[in-house]
Structure 1
Amino acid sequence: MSFVIDVAVLVLLVGTLGYAWVVDRRVRKLMVVLREMEPMIGSFSQAVERSESTVSALRAAREAQPRARTETRSETRTEAARKEPAFRSSRERPSRPPEATPLNGKSELVRGFFETVRQREA
């Protein structure tokens, strides 16, 4: 009986080692792909930050416009709202959940991720 238990444990151990080997191969492939993608992800992160800063600059410029222009536009909008149909062809933009916080410095976050990966490999 103990021989059967020993064989079962041995089979399970060999299976575990085989699975660990497969996972190791997949992780190594993933790390190679991440290293290849690092420049692209960094440039994408910088582009996102530039677009966010541009949007905030545009919002600031819109708020800095003279009040008279804004009032005439709001009057025009109320007139247009009266002419709009009772339904909308597009959805309203969903509001951000209260627990969601905007993340600043995304490029530092991306760089930090890759630095952490390099440190773990060493």
Structure 2
Amino acid sequence: MSFLIDIAILVLLVGTLTYAWLVDRRVRTLMHVLREMEPMIGDFSAAVDRSESSVSALRSLGQKAEPERQREEPSFRSTRERPKRPAGATKATGKSELVRGFFETVREREA
């Protein structure tokens, strides 16, 4: 019986050592990749710092700038212009007017 317990302990120990070896390989790979990415992350951090300082400088310049004079008339239209109809186009309110207009146009072109 004690022999079976010893074998079970050995199997569990081998399994634990194998798992530890796999985890160690993965951690080493991760550390290698992080070392390769370190310059890129440093450059990104510097770019973020520069952009933050640029934004704060632009904000302070915008606040210091003299406010623009108010225009008396708005720079946009409050209503839209009506679309212009192409030459020869007429408004047809119903289906019968549309059909009649079509045939009148055909007769005029044939004549």
- Fold-level match, TM-score > 0.5? yes
Matched, 1:62 2:26: no
Q: State how far apart, in whole Å, the 1-side matches of 2:54 and 2:16 are.
A: 52
User: What letter is aligned with 1:43?
Assistant: D
Q: State how far apart, in whole Å, the 1-side matches of 2:37 and 2:6 are.
A: 46
Secondary structure (helix, strand or coil) at the match of 1:41 reads helix
* TM-score (normalised: structure 2): 0.56
* TM-score (normalised: structure 1): 0.52
User: What letter is aligned with 1:25?
Assistant: R
Q: State how far apart, in whole Å, the 2-side matches of 1:9 and 1:63 are.
A: 74
Bigger relative contact order, structure 1 or 2, given CA contacts below 8 A and separation 6+?
1
Secondary structure (helix, strand or coil) at the match of 1:17 reads helix
User: What letter is aligned with 1:56?
Assistant: S
**Deviation above 3 Å: which 4+ runs of structure 1?**
none
Give the root-mean-square deviation of aligned CA atoms.
2.5
Q: Greater CA radius of gyration, 1 or 2?
A: 2
After the TM superposition, which residues 1-122 of structure 1 pair with which residues of structure 2 at under 5 Å, given as runs? 1-66=1-66, 68-69=67-68, 72=70
Q: State how far apart, in whole Å, the 2-side matches of 1:47 and 1:2 are.
A: 65
Q: Is there any run of 5+ residues in structure 1 with no aligned partner, and where?
A: 84-122
Q: Is there any run of 5+ residues in structure 2 with no aligned partner, and where?
A: 80-111
Q: Judging by fraction of residues, say which structure has more helix.
A: 1
Percent of aligned pairs with the same amino acid: 65
Shift in CA distance, 61/2, structure 1 to aligned 2, threshold 3 Å = same
Secondary structure (helix, strand or coil) at the match of 2:29 reads helix
Q: How many residues align?
A: 75
